[in-house]
Amino acid sequence: MPHIIVIGAGQAGASLTAKLRSLGYGGDITLIGAEPVLPYQRPPLSKGYLLGDMTRERLFLRPEEFYENQNITLRLGSTVTAIDVAAKTVTIGSETLAYDDLALTTGSTPHRLPAATGGTLQGVHVVRTLADIDAMEPEFAAGKNVLIVGGGYIGLEAAAVAAKLGLNVTLVEMADRILQRVAAPETSDYFRTLHTAHGVNILEGVGLDHLSGDSRVTSATLTNGQTIPVDFVITGVGIKPATDLAEATNITLENGIKTDTQGRTSAPHIWAAGDCASFPYHSTRIRLESVPNAIDQAEVVAENMLGAAKDYIATPWFWSDQYDVKLQIAGLNTGYTSVVTRAGEKPGAQSHWYYAGDTLLAVDAMNDARAYMIGKRLIEAGKSPAPDVIANPDTDLKALLK
């Protein structure tokens, strides 16, 4: 009986195994996950789950019965320590499992503060796993002082939850502005205004020098010389692809596990998908950290494992929820030269359209689902309305699709 093993039981791994069964694959499937819980959604962790609006069970992508009914063997709380490419085996502790094809869907891991700056003190948290959120949830008591290090989407989402729960929130961003790495100044301005209105103290161009405390953090000294009292700290300073296992196996890396257009790695019968995988995109190579990419790429890899020979064509889109604002992003803004702002129909709704010359690259839509959907369809169709047409409030966006 052929055997497909998938290492990494997150969104990509769960999607890949389910797709194999839906395509009619009748061999053995083993899904191996380091966490001792069923595959679950990550985006609600720092929002609905932390707020208490979503139960633990609702996080799970599928109930345990699904895996039993689909004859997918779950190996949860298990860590693969080695892959033998020649023998086509993986090692878990003292156990060796043979595979015919292997998929790496190992995801990513958060950057942590170094011990030298107090990163190992109690009360210093990251936002990545269910265990991370369970560990920090008791900290969220009204009136407490929380420091958030990093003004990307993870940091801002954590700030929104903390502010809604009545904490005193200070957020520091070492760059000149929040969201500098991922968004235009117009989008940064929108979210700075939003958070400030909810009482968040945002300090830009300011980093963390060090944290202090005996065993638990009690204060933070910032790079501007200011020292502030803190009850706990959340770090959101980016993630990195989880490539240690691939590297130990001598699989080629390039900003993640390097794959071809169909998801193959440099090692025979080994594939990769999700946050950990980089792949060709137009004339470059990218790695996408998003739920839609994890699902779509994993499903294409499942097809290709069964012989489809299908290229993965990414259609990047992302989202973030902060307070009552839903940010939806279509496309990739890399290389943009100008940004057009368009007001939405509802109060506070607006969208930012990124152009490289006359070519539409991406859209950030805040509480403007219509602009997001139309922008996404335009980008996917390769259509670029003139910037002044988008800026004109009288333009019927839907008509641009014809």
Class of domain 3-109+239-305: alpha beta
Contact 256, 293 (CB under 8 A): no
Find out whether 172 and 149 touch, Cβ atoms under 8 Å.
yes
Instruction: Find the range with the poorest average confidence among 39-48, 64-73, 249-258, 335-344.
Output: 39-48
pLDDT digits (tens, 9 = 90+) for 66-124: 999 999 999 999 999 999 999 999 999 999 999 999 999 999 999 999 999 999 999 99
* CATH pick for 324-401 out of 2.60.40.10, 3.40.50.20, 3.30.390.30, 3.40.50.300: 3.30.390.30
User: Among 3.10.20.440, 3.40.640.10, 3.20.20.70, 3.50.50.60, what is the CATH number of 112-235?
Assistant: 3.50.50.60
H helices of 52-206, in order, are 56-59, 64-69, 130-136, 153-164, 185-197
C-alpha–C-alpha distance, residues 96 and 27, integer Å: 18
What is the DSSP annotation of 101-130?
Answer: EEEE---EEE----GGGTTTSBTEEESSSH
Answer whether 300's CB lies under 8 Å from 262's CB: yes
- The per-residue pLDDT for range 172-201, each reduced to its tens digit, is 999 999 999 999 999 999 999 999 999 999
Asked whether the beta carbons of 322 and 298 are under 8 A apart, the reply is no
Dist CA 14 CA 32 (whole Å): 10
Q: Is 185 helix (H, G, I), strand (E, B) or coil?
A: helix
Residue 339's contacts (CB-CB under 8 Å, 6 or more residues apart) are 184, 185, 186, 352, 353, 354, 355
3-class secondary structure, 143 = coil
What does pTM read for this prediction?
Answer: 0.95
Which pLDDT band, with edges at 50, 70 and 90, does 361 fall under? Answer: very high
**Which is nearest to 132 in space by CA: 32, 242, 235?**
235
Domain pair 3-109+239-305 / 112-235, same fold: yes
Domain assignments of the chain as residue spans, ordered by start: 3-109+239-305, 112-235, 324-401
The pLDDT of residue 1 is 93
pLDDT in tens, 211-257: 999 999 999 999 999 999 999 999 999 999 999 999 999 999 999 99
Q: How far apart are alpha carbons 295 and 20 in whole angstroms? A: 13
pLDDT single digits (tens) 266-314: 999 999 999 999 999 998 999 999 999 999 999 999 999 999 999 999 9
> What is the reported pLDDT for 47?
86
DSSP category for residue 323 = T
Strand residue runs (E) in 143-294:
145-149, 168-173, 201-204, 208-212, 219-222, 227-229, 232-235, 239-241, 257-258, 270-272, 277-281, 284-286
**Whole-angstrom Cα Rg for the chain:** 22
Q: 333, 374, 330, 14: which is closest to 181 by C-alpha? A: 333
